[in-house]
């Protein structure tokens, strides 16, 4: 089964052709990152305009790269939630129109489910059940994946997402957008024990995260140094900050794996590209005798191939939509309702 998939939830306009949920026949991404960098973050209006300009082009390229025609496509898939509403609407309306014109089934996909499914493209042997840590600029979840379409949220952030925390800390140190990538590189040369940042926790919810206090702590450190004329070693600050964020992510994930008996752990989302997170999770899984699956760096960020992968399983489960499909800026991964 060949699926033409679209992703437009943020600043990437992407299209891909995926076969049977496991094989990428083509993947095309057009990004407005360089333009967004001028403003220090994603400007929703700019992202939406670029999606409208580029989406038909990436669709044509994806079909051409896969050497298939629209007649050979079996279904059209699209990210319908969550994300920037204007950006999502471009993808949803284009996919609806294309599916209607070509008389193909329309399959809506939850963005986080797509990130998890990126692992199916890289690891042919991976199948549920497993425990997944989904970390990105907007989300930090510990998710029990009981089947390809059944999800349970075990833990989540109560405030900032881990990726957002990295980006804001990096911005406070004057690093260009996206700051999390720059912070990760600089941290590689620093001492992770140079600063003892706090370890926030959520009372009564042992698997949930809270990153806002940690973000405030690093910003206060920077402000205090500036006020007293102290020069900080940013490599040490980055390494110590990253160490604490990664420790929190890994501790809660492995605690949940122990509690609920999962022997397979999966990473997903943009922050799964973080070097320290990959190293530490690898070591912890080896120590506990668990299997660990991580997406290759090329599939950590937003892309349409991951949407096509998840769409295959959503279609098999009967989760198609009609022309009434609408986009939603927020939607729980475990309570997906399309309307």
CB atoms within 10 A of CB 23: 15
Domains of the chain as residue ranges with CATH: 2-116+299-316 (3.30.420.40), 128-297 (3.30.420.40)
Going residue by residue through the chain (339 aa), what tens digit of pLDDT does each one get?
A: 999 999 999 999 999 999 999 999 999 999 998 899 888 889 999 999 999 999 999 999 999 999 999 999 999 999 999 999 999 999 999 999 999 999 999 999 999 999 999 999 999 999 999 999 999 988 999 999 999 999 999 999 999 999 999 999 999 999 988 889 999 999 999 999 999 999 888 888 899 999 999 999 999 999 999 999 998 999 999 999 999 999 999 999 999 999 999 999 999 999 999 999 999 999 999 999 999 999 999 999 999 999 999 999 999 999 999 999 999 999 999 999 986
Q: Is 90 in contact with 55 (CB distance < 8 Å)?
A: yes
Q: What is the DSSP string of 65-106?
A: HHT--GGG--EEEEEEESS-HHHHHHHHHHHHHHHHHHT--E
Ranges of beta strands (E only) in the chain are 2-7, 12-19, 23-31, 75-81, 106-110, 130-135, 140-147, 150-156, 264-268, 291-293
CA dist., res. 171 & res. 99, Å (int)? 41
CB atoms within 10 A of CB 159: 17
Residue 178: predicted pLDDT: 85
Among 152, 196, 169, smallest CA distance to 271 is for 169
Q: Is 17 in contact with 25 (CB distance < 8 Å)?
A: yes
Q: Is 338 in contact with 321 (CB distance < 8 Å)?
A: yes
Q: Is 8 in contact with 55 (CB distance < 8 Å)?
A: yes
φ/ψ (deg, to 5) at 255: -65, -40
Tell me the three state secondary structure of residue 60. Answer: helix
pTM, full prediction? 0.95
């Amino acid at each position: 089964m060949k699926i033409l998939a679209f992703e437009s939830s943020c600043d990437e306009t992407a299209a891909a052709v995926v076969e049977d949920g496991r094989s990428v026949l083509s993947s095309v991404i057009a990004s407005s990152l360089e333009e967004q960098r001028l403003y220090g973050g994603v400007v929703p209006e700019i992202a939406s305009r670029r999606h409208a300009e580029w989406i038909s082009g990436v669709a044509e390229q994806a079909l051409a790269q896969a050497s298939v025609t629209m007649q050979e496509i079996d279904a059209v898939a699209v990210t319908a939630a969550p994300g920037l509403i204007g950006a999502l609407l471009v993808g949803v309306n284009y996919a609806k129109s294309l599916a209607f014109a070509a008389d193909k089934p329309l399959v809506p996909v939850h963005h986080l489910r797509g990130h998890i499914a990126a692992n199916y493209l890289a690891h042919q042997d991976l199948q549920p059940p497993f425990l997944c840590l989904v970390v990105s600029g907007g989300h930090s979840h510990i998710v029990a994946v009981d089947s390809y379409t059944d999800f349970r949220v075990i833990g989540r952030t109560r405030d900032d997402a881990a990726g957002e925390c990295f980006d804001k800390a990096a911005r406070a140190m004057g690093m260009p957008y996206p700051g999390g990538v720059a912070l990760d590189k600089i941290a590689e040369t620093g001492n992770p024990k140079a600063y003892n940042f706090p370890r926030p926790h959520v009372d009564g919810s042992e698997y949930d995260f809270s990153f806002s206090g940690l973000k405030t702590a690093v910003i206060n450190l920077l402000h205090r140094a500036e006020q007293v004329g102290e020069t900080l070693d940013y490599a040490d600050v980055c390494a110590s900050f990253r160490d604490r964020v990664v420790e929190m992510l890994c501790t809660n994930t492995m605690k949940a794996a122990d509690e609920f008996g999962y022997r397979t752990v999966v990473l997903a989302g943009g922050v799964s590209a973080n070097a320290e997170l990959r190293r530490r999770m690898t070591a912890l899984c080896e120590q506990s005798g668990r299997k660990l699956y991580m997406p290759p760096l090329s599939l950590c960020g937003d892309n349409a191939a991951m949407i096509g992968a998840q769409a295959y399983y959503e279609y098999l489960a009967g989760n198609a939509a009609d022309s009434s499909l609408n986009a939603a800026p927020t939607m729980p991964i475990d309570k997906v309702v399309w309307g």
